[in-house]
Structure 1
Amino acid sequence: MKQLLVCLALLFFSACSEDKSVLLPEINGAAITEITDVSPAYIFYNETQKDSVELNRKSLIISTNWLVNIDRRLTLKQALPSIITLQEKKRGAGMHKNESAKNFFTCNDTSIKNLGFIDFTDVVYSRNNTPDTTEGRYAVTIFKVDSIAIHSVNHKIINLKSDDLLDSIQQLASSSSTLKHFTLNFNSKVTFQDYITIKSKLSNLKSDNLAISKNEFIFN
């Protein structure tokens, strides 16, 4: 019921705001499809002023799970300041904090024609820094969704598209029995839709030999 109310609330915001809208990013086969005890936040795309971003967090309750609804047309450069603001608010909640409450990006899961969710509670965004590519560590650099490179300590680079990303990571992880660490490195011009596409694909990775870092890097 609460998930349905959130969906209706999202439609209300989209329909009743003359110059604001939220088009949710689309994924196929979400790992998380049901969340209870929620409150929503919205990051709007302004069609009349394309560089304008507005965060509406009036409905947030600090002790609940937060569903963050972000317009898929925004770039990471546009959306990140608001995302980080929300993270800092939750992490600094103090005595009102609920340790079990999480933050989720809301998506339109086309496979079930309903909402799907991606957990970003523990993600830490770092801007204009460089991922560690020492022994056993790889930087997955996303220039755009169809232009991705994997860098390692020996400067090996694999150019690929998002459809090939999972196979490439799993092959690297299975090349030896040692644990491989992968860090995501996104161009700030990547759209939120493309960001969610990559995140959704990686959520389906299953291997004991790999770890995806919670530290994500954003470069200009």
Structure 2
Amino acid sequence: MIMKTKLFTLIFGAILFASCQQKEMKISRSDFSVVTEMTDFSPAYILKNEVGKVEIKKNSLIGNTHWVLSVDRDITMNEVAPFLHDLTEKKHKVGGMHEDTKDIYMVYSDTVHKQNAYVKVPFKSFALENQPVYELAEGVESLLLKSVADAKNPLDKTQTYLVRIDKNISVENFVNILIELEKQKISQSLNSEVYVN
């Protein structure tokens, strides 16, 4: 009996130690909820591993469901952009047998209402190179987003915006920019391709 108790204590202690060693993901924070409920979705996780390398865990992504990304808020856009490039390319590929009609969302914590919330990623493609320099057509403007303040500037809903995201901003900053664009109802005026540089 004493041997069983010691074995149980040893196993329980090992499980407790292992669970304490797991790193808790810190998702982005905001004070506003865009979407509070999500159905028909599959999750993916983008985080830094033990050696500080950014990696994605996407084993459970299913086609034609919304993809909900939990991303460590301290990762920079430069680090996450290659994963967003690959995910959007896979999600929105043209010419596939079955069109995927669902979207990609990022989950964040609404700290005021103490709940998780979701914001849609309005871009269908993430370009990793510099935005080409050319004369913009009438009704098209270039928009560089480095902070939420840039997204709060009065934007004209009749324009189409070619968006560039500063590669040095954090994912938390990016999520809050997306939230601000949703608040202004300007997401529909954004070009489907975004440049991260």
Distance 1:16 1:94, change over 3 A: farther
Aligned residue runs from structure 1 range 1-220, under 5 A: 16=19, 18=21, 20-46=23-49, 48-50=50-52, 52-92=53-93, 94-95=96-97, 97=98, 99-120=100-121, 122-130=123-131, 134=136, 135-142=138-145, 144-145=146-147, 162-163=148-149, 165-166=151-152, 168-170=153-155, 173=156, 179-206=158-185, 211-219=189-197
1:60-91 deviations in whole A, cap 9, x for unaligned?
22232211111111011111112222223333
Q: Is the 8 A contact 2:123 2:194 kept in 1?
A: no
2-structure distance, mates of 1:191, 1:34 = 25
1-structure distance, mates of 2:135, 2:154 = 15
Aligned length: 176
Whichever residue aligns with residue 197 of structure 1, its letter is N
Structure 1 length normalisation: TM-score?
0.68
Unaligned 5+ segments in structure 1 are 1-14, 146-161
2-structure distance, mates of 1:184, 1:59 = 30
2-structure distance, mates of 1:67, 1:17 = 26
Q: Is the 8 A contact 2:92 2:100 kept in 1?
A: no
Q: Give the structure, 1 or 2, with the largest relative contact order (CA under 8 Å, sep 6 or more).
A: 2
Alignment partner of 2:63: what SS? coil
Identity of aligned residues (%): 23
Q: Say which one has the larger Rg.
A: 2
Shift of 1:163: 3.7
Structure 1 stretch displaced more, 189-198 or 119-128? 119-128
1-structure distance, mates of 2:119, 2:142 = 21
2-structure distance, mates of 1:17, 1:82 = 28
Shift of 1:165: 3.8
CA-based RMSD: 2.8
1:147-175 deviations in whole A, cap 9, x for unaligned?
xxxxxxxxxxxxxxx34642x324xx28x
Residue number in structure 2 paired with 1:152: none
Whichever residue aligns with residue 138 of structure 1, its letter is E
Distance 1:129 1:192, change over 3 A: same
Alignment partner of 2:174: what SS? helix
2-structure distance, mates of 1:31, 1:133 = 35
Structure 1 stretch displaced more, 126-135 or 186-195? 126-135
Unaligned 5+ segments in structure 2 are 1-17
2-structure distance, mates of 1:88, 1:59 = 17
Distance 1:165 1:41, change over 3 A: closer
Alignment partner of 1:203: what SS? helix
Whichever residue aligns with residue 66 of structure 2, its letter is N
Whichever residue aligns with residue 22 of structure 1, its letter is M
2-structure distance, mates of 1:60, 1:123 = 17
Shift of 1:202: 0.8
Structure 2 length normalisation: TM-score?
0.75
